[in-house]
Amino acid sequence: MTFDCSVAVIAGGLSFEREVSLRSGQRVADALRERGYRVSELDADHRLVETLGTGEFDVAFLALHGRFGEDGTVASILELLGIPYTGSSFEASRLAFDKLAAKSVLRRASLSVPSAIPLTEGALRELGVGALLDRAMDELGLPIVVKPNRGGSALGIRLVERPDQLPAALMAAFGYDDTVLLEQHVQGTELALAVVDGLPTLPAVEIRPKEGWYDFSARYTHGAADFRVPANLDQATADQCLKAAHAAHLALGCRDISRVDAILDPTGTCQILEVNTGPGLTSTSLVPMAADAAGLTFTDLAAHLTDRATARRPR
Amino acid sequence: MAVSFKVMRADDPFRDRYARGTRSMTASEIRALFAVASRPEIVSLAGGMPFTAALPFDVVGNVLEEVVANEGPAALQYAGGQGDPRLREVLTELMRHEGIRGSGGDVVVTEGSQQALDLISRMFCDPGDVIVAEGPSYVGALSAFSQYQVEVCHVPLDDDGLDPDALAATLERLERDGRRVKFLYTVPNFHNPAGVTLAADRRERVLELARKHHVLVLEDNPYGMLGFESDPPDALRALDPDNVVYLGSLSKVFCPGLRIGWALVPPALRERMVLVKEAADLCSSSFTQAVAYRWFADYPWRETLKDLRELYRGRRDVMLDALAEDVPAGVTWTKPTGGFYVWVRLPDHLDARAMLAKAITARVAYVPGGAFYADGQGASCLRLSYCFPPPDRIREGVRRLASVVDEELALARALGGLPAEAPDPDHGRPAGWGGVQ
């Protein structure tokens, strides 16, 4: 691709995943520079629009995670400015970021998703929905996962095994969004399924428990799990999961790159937890890990995504 | 596609090789939140950073020039491990203000008093030992201690500081249980984070108890010269030179960028402390020691300190007024007479850590109380700092915080109050708090 291409790598911002995003952005910028692109690193702050408006950028690489980034906010700005960008459109990002809305789309596409009951802060505070919490737990069956409807990583997520743990879990989740999901907890093999348009299918990554002490909270502590690429699945099962991930990516209208988080349940069904349109791109993030296992360097991956976006530039 | 088989580790390929003392230093949800809290859009009432912009920079510039012109070669050379003898003499002068009659020969200069905390722990602590500390206690001290795999046993404090009766009971219990208590760690003046000062009549009692149980006292006093209404009572070290290690710091009375702190140790400890210091880093910076020496020997530092005290007093007043005006009923807080911090207690069923995400979304940050305990207490408390933000930002920050607390109370009411117990992914990680001072 052209080496006289000026790329704005956008990272950071006010998201709670700012730190990870800055690491992703740094890595992308290093990779693209190595490949000969002209790269500027931009923080997604109040100066962003002004900087992008200078007209010096041919394309933007979005290395944003979480709110004000992965939720389509920055994509919408780039649409207005007419700058092509990597990854999903505003609409698709917004849809995927809203776990509840995404669930209905995926279900309509005949994909399996864990059942969930939404709860808004307003309904709790103003309408007395608290009285129905026991019914919600009965319906889903304990344990359940309580998570913010919008928000990335595992921030604000708690596992509730006993009814008396629910109020504190709800308080924690409402810290991140005014809508919270009570979600059925699915046991099984945890998978991260990378979907990158324009590349052959990448292998599934299996998130492996550390023997003996792996629990829910450990899952969300950095460095508390090992990953196995490709996942320890027979070929047919792996293909089925990857196919489901690809179908989810398409159903939500995603573009270029997604990481589909899923659990292969004991019945052999691939249950899709969420689709991330702004997956981590740090040195040990899961999509680069899958690419690496397929023989694709991080520089190749970053350049591939940049070039796909550049090709969308109006001529 | 040909694929090679690999088992890879999340984030950290060295994870299984770390020393036990650093394993608890993991990334955490709270760290992720603080990464956002440092953005200028957010009023941070979290950090304990001195307001260095108030220093007379022309004068500081003169000092720097003088050091280079008059003693350049020595100031840019290694120095003795114990520290610049001239500076040590000046530091003993400073300590006279707190009633301490010590010798420069018993002072060891350190990289901030934080290094002294580390060196003293290294000298005394084996895995499984006990350190007794106030509850709450300075988060940086808890981090330093945690590296040595000690158990920190908290003793509650009230408006008059450490509670001697509770201390007596704790020391007796530990003795009965056959535990080895290596020292009592205390911040007697304008406590971080609680803002309270140990009353004069309690000081003798605390020292007596320490002597009775053969427990060394580690007196950490970075804020002692920042009293707004009056000076604090005499230092513990002044009352018991043989059983108290006194830690001082220039970070709050001058600036933290020089990284100068010190320990005034009982003579019996001096040589060992110097050896441990030399093993750690050979010596502190000769240059910054020379700068500090000249500042306190030749310049009107008292005036600068008076200005700083006035500035912090004004900000304290603004914060206390704002709290009184805005914060909903059921929330209580300490009224510091010096130092940097106000300790806020929310109604019991609120969790300050769970509330932090909401606060940061509302563009205000604080430090959740759990950071100041090694044992999971403090969930409903939080620390506010008034030292750094200008008064209008303090007012605005408290207003934002008050509305977050309001919302949180409404939510808790709707949920019918909260049981304390919930799975907490960050419990027991005092080291993961991201450099909170």
Question: Could you please report the per-residue DSSP string of B169-193?
Answer: HHHHHHHHTT--EEEEEE--SS-TT
pLDDT value, residue B39:
83
Contact of B138 with B220, CB cutoff 8 Å: yes
ipTM above 0.95, yes or no: no
Residue of A nearest to B422 (CA): A165
**A2 pLDDT more than 90:** no
Q: Which chain B residues are Cβ-neighbours of A155 within 8 angstroms?
A: 29, 32, 357
Average pLDDT in the A189-203 region? 96
Task: Write the CB contacts of B370 (distance below 8 Å, at least 6 apart in sequence).
Answer: B352, B353, B376, B377, B378, B379, B426
Q: Picking from A61-65, A195-199, B26-30, B293-297, which range would have the lowest pLDDT averaged per residue?
A: B26-30
Identify whether A259 is a catalytic site residue: yes
Identify whether A232 is a catalytic site residue: no
User: Which residues of B, range 15-44, sit inside 8 Å of A by Cβ?
Assistant: 15, 26-29, 31-33, 35-36, 39, 41
Contact of A72 with A94, CB cutoff 8 Å: yes
Half-sphere exposure of A260 (CA within 13 A, CB side): 33
* Tokens coding B46: 């979290």
Average pLDDT in the A73-102 region? 96
Contact of B90 with B297, CB cutoff 8 Å: yes
* Inter-chain touch A174–B411, beta carbons under 8 Å: yes
Identify whether A130 is a catalytic site residue: no
* Inter-chain touch A229–B8, beta carbons under 8 Å: yes
Our measurement of the distance from residue B365's CA atom to the centroid of its chain's CA atoms, rounded to an integer in Å, reads 18
Half-sphere exposure of B238 (CA within 13 A, CB side): 17
The 10s digit of each residue's pLDDT in B315-337 is: 999 999 999 999 999 999 999 99
Per-residue pLDDT of chain B (437 residues; tens, 9 = 90+): 333 444 544 456 676 788 887 766 555 667 777 888 888 889 999 989 999 999 999 999 999 999 999 999 999 999 999 999 999 999 999 999 999 999 999 999 999 999 999 999 999 999 999 999 999 999 999 999 999 999 999 999 999 999 999 999 999 999 999 999 999 999 999 999 999 999 999 999 999 999 999 999 999 999 999 999 999 999 999 999 999 999 999 999 999 999 999 999 999 999 999 999 999 999 999 999 999 999 999 999 999 999 999 999 999 999 999 999 999 999 999 999 999 999 999 998 899 999 999 999 999 999 999 999 999 999 999 999 999 999 999 999 999 999 999 999 999 999 886 544 444 444 443 344 444 55
Identify whether A280 is a catalytic site residue: yes
Integer Cα distance of A265 and A270 in angstroms? 6
pLDDT bracket for residue A212 (50, 70, 90): very low
Identify whether A40 is a catalytic site residue: no
User: Which residues of A, range 121-180, sit inside 8 Å of B by Cβ?
Assistant: 121, 124-125, 128-130, 153, 155-156, 158-159, 161, 164-165, 167-172, 174-176
Cβ-in-10-Å burial (0-12, 13-18, 19+) of B320 comes to middle
pLDDT value, residue B27:
53
Residue of B nearest to A124 (CA): B414
Largest alpha-carbon pair distance within chain B? 78
The active-site residue out of A261, A278, A285, A308 is: A261
pLDDT value, residue A215:
37
* Inter-chain touch B32–A17, beta carbons under 8 Å: yes
Nearest alpha carbon to residue B432 among A169, A221, A156: A221
Integer Cα distance of B368 and B379 in angstroms? 7
Across the interface, of A16, A227, A284, the residue whose CB is closest to B357 is: A16
* Inter-chain touch B10–A226, beta carbons under 8 Å: yes
* Tokens coding B59: 């004068």
pLDDT value, residue B437:
59
* Tokens coding B295: 């500042």
Q: Which chain B residues are Cβ-neighbours of A289 within 8 angstroms?
A: 8
* Inter-chain touch A230–B5, beta carbons under 8 Å: yes
Contact of B171 with B181, CB cutoff 8 Å: yes
Model confidence, pTM:
0.90
Residue of A nearest to B424 (CA): A217
The 10s digit of each residue's pLDDT in A139-184 is: 999 999 999 999 776 788 888 999 999 999 999 999 999 999 999 9
Q: Is B369 helix (H, G, I), strand (E, B) or coil?
A: helix
User: Which residues of A, range 73-112, sit inside 8 Å of B by Cβ?
Assistant: none
pLDDT value, residue B9:
47
CA distances from A137 to A116, A148, A155, A162 (A): 10, 17, 22, 10
Integer Cα distance of A111 and B103 in angstroms? 77
* Tokens coding A276: 């991330």
Nearest alpha carbon to residue A141 among A122, A160, A126, A155: A160
Cα Rg of chain B (Å, integer): 22
* Mean pLDDT value across chain A: 91
* Tokens coding B194: 């609680």
Nearest alpha carbon to residue A157 among A23, A261, A18, A290: A261
Q: Does A192 contact B at CB distance below 8 Å?
A: no
Identify whether A214 is a catalytic site residue: no
Q: Does A214 contact B at CB distance below 8 Å?
A: no
pLDDT value, residue B115:
98
Contact of B197 with B161, CB cutoff 8 Å: yes
* Tokens coding A57: 């950028």
| A–B interface: beta-carbon pairs under 8 A | 151
